Each structure stands twice: as C-alpha cells, then as structure tokens.
Amino acid sequence: MDKPAVRDAALLLLRIVLGTVFVAHGWDKLMITGLTETTGQFSAWGVPQPQLSAWLVMIVEMLGGALLVVGLLTTFIAGLLALLMVAAVWLVHLDAGFFTAHGGVEYPVVMLAALLIIVVFGSGRVSLDGVLTRD
C-alpha cells in the first residue's frame, strides 16, 4: 500500500469528495437556501458580520471546493478551508454537542481532519499542482 500510485489515487479520491461537498454547500448557500436566509442563520448563530461572512463562506466553499477537485493551489486551499471548519466548530457547532443530527461538531471535525491530510501530504501527482511542478 505504500506505493506512490496508491497514495496519489487516495489523495485524488479525497480531493474529489471534499471538493464536491464544499461546492455543494456553497451552492446551497447561494442558490437553494439563498444568501438572505443564510445571513439570517449566521446572525442567529452569532457569527460576526453575518452578511459578509455568508458571502465569504459561500465563495470560499464554491471556489475552494472546485480548486480542490482539480488540485490547484491545493495545500493553500485545504488550509483555508480547514480554517473555515475551525471557525464553524468554534462559532456554530461547539455548543450543540457531538452528533451532526443535533448540529454538533461531528461533520466539521471530520472535514477538518480530511483537509489536514491534504495539507500534510499535498495534492498528489494526479492534480494540476502535480502537473505544474513536474520536472
């Protein structure tokens, strides 16, 4: 299992899954729930500058998720999304317990752990980063 091709395939799978989830959450904020409702939710949760935060989170989720999928600026984007997950835990999920069904920390902590794997191991060779840095 400790072969570069296996590691690259695992990182590709992880990037695709994480990126797709982030794009879907950003899309939800923009097109399904809507930014007005998202701003209201952020305000109710006590998120600072809820309107600005809703816009920033939506943009970072959509653009960051797409960049994860293709593997461009991957470690930077994964770090940025990890910081977003830390903020989500701290500002929204911490007081709600553990389980996602009750709004707890379970989901953002799993996302944070997965993002940290990408920060540590990079995007892998099957990525735009990998293509652009080959000698």
Q: Is 3 exposed, middle or buried (0-12, 13-18, 19+ CB in 10 A)?
A: exposed
pLDDT value for 1: 73
CB 125, CB 9: distance < 8 Å: no
Question: pLDDT tens-digit profile of 56-115?
Answer: 999 999 999 999 999 999 999 999 999 999 999 999 998 888 998 898 999 999 999 999
For residue 18, pLDDT over 80 is answered with yes
pLDDT value for 2: 78
Question: pLDDT tens-digit profile of 28-72?
Answer: 999 999 999 999 999 999 999 999 999 999 999 999 999 999 999
What is the model's pTM?
0.94
CB 126, CB 132: distance < 8 Å: no
- State the pLDDT confidence band at 118, using cuts at 50, 70 and 90: very high
| Domain boundaries of the chain, sorted by first residue | 4-128
pLDDT value for 43: 97
